[in-house]
Amino acid sequence: MKKISIFLIAIFSLTNIFGQSSLEGDVNVFNPITTGVPFLSIAPDARGGAMGDVGAATSPDAYSQYWNPSKFAFIDGAGGVSLSYTPWLRKLVKDIDLAYLSGYYKIADIQTVSASLRYFSLGEVMIRKDATSPAITAKPYDLAVDASYARILAENFSMGVTLRFIYSDLLGGAPVEEAESLTPGAAVAADISAFYSSPVVFPEGEGFARGGLNISNIGSKLSYGDDLNMAFLPTNMRLGGSLTYPLDPYNKLSVNLDLNKLLVPSRPVAPTQGDDESDADYALRESKYETSLSDYNNGDPIAGIFTSFSDAPGGFSEELQEIMWSLGLEYAYNNQFFARAGYFNESANKGNRKYATIGAGFKLNVFSLDVAYVVSVAQNNPLDQTLRFSLAFTLDGIKQLTAR
């Protein structure tokens, strides 16, 4: 019973579902990419979350640490901090949530440093040795701390680097004798990002064309104490574009698009014997599968970044299914009031996350407040009705307020 409970905890810490196909090479089967610590892929803030989870190329804001730290090099003001909160999977449980704290500071006109803390609570989990033993309460959690440096390299172009420490405790400090080999997992990772921002003159006024790239979570595997419990980090490539169009001097509309692909090897597909397949042919395919599975489990995460573009069992068609896309719109009035909407799409064979998002924001000199809401398109999606709240403060605004 205890082992089952521990396994259930691990499910929360692994990506979606270990979906496996019984038809090798078939692209129309459920076969998602699996990673550890998927909380690193959860959009933490309400601005990007209200636009279908876009942010690689949107205008710089206090939440840029997650989406693209290179944007901080072009942000206005001396610095700022933000706090975001997301109740997670509320349709399933009531005590899972994500808290996110980030901040940035300009050390020069062309250089910015930033950092963030991400804490993902998995709530309370009851662990039992057997049906008659008393329950032990565990509070598993995941944690990530990172720091970034961004610099303008050309008039309209910047780049940034990020270092991250990741910690995952599936037992939450609970004393579990049978799970002594299951220790908290730790890993280190790095991001590299780039951002392009150029003004564009329209008849109605000045707008902006922007582009962004962020390759995140490049690093070691996450180990929970032995080789059987090692997992790839959710290394991800996010590529985005954004166009801000001025409707008039007070009203602007931004169209934003992000493409995402996990740079993680595809797990081999377990074969099943066909009706007309001989035992010898099936044994040969099974042997190849065992070899491929061993290579996958022992694979190097850096090498896996490159093989992830060509290792899908279904070939190039399945590789295309691994690309997730997000489309977001943002309307701004006088740069103070914001209305947002978006859509996120993932292939039905790679996780089937499909949802629409809406949200709003309000901005003053001192602070800004943003709210986002998720409306699932897929049936029985646990992400449905997910709320996000974000609050950001600027150092310039705080100084003006305290100087009065």
User: Is residue 65 a contact partner of residue 146, using CB atoms and an 8 Å limit?
Assistant: yes
d(CA 240, CA 82): 23
* Residue 229 confidence (pLDDT): 60
pTM: 0.87
Contact 391, 85 (CB under 8 A): no
Which residues, at least 6 apart from 399, have a Cβ–Cβ distance to it below 8 Å?
none
Rg of the chain over Cα atoms, rounded to whole angstroms, equals 23
Residue 389 contacts residue 85 (beta carbons within 8 Å): yes
CA 131 vs CA 7, 121, 328: distances in Å? 16, 26, 49
Tokens matching residue 299: 């694979």
The answer to whether the CB of 70 falls within 8 A of the CB of 194 is yes
In angstroms, the CA 185 to CA 251 distance is: 48
* Predicted pLDDT at 228: 59
- Give the pLDDT of residue 396: 82
Calpha distance 351→88 (Å, rounded): 17
Identify the pLDDT of residue 180: 56
pLDDT (tens place) for every residue of the chain, 404 residues total? 444 444 444 444 444 433 333 344 555 677 888 898 999 999 999 999 999 999 999 999 999 999 999 999 999 989 999 999 998 887 777 888 999 999 999 998 899 999 999 999 988 877 766 667 777 777 889 999 999 999 999 999 999 999 999 999 887 666 655 555 567 889 999 999 999 999 999 998 999 999 999 999 999 888 877 665 678 999 999 999 999 999 999 999 999 999 999 999 888 877 777 778 777 777 888 888 888 788 788 888 898 899 899 888 788 888 899 999 999 999 999 999 999 999 999 998 888 889 999 999 999 888 899 999 998 887 667 778 888 999 999 988 787 777 76
C-beta separation of 361 from 330 below 8 A: no
pLDDT at residue 376 in the model = 85
C-alpha to C-alpha distance for 237 and 193, rounded to whole angstroms = 10
Residues β-bridged to residue 146:
116, 164
Residue with tokens 């629409």: 356
CATH of domain 2-403: 2.40.160.40
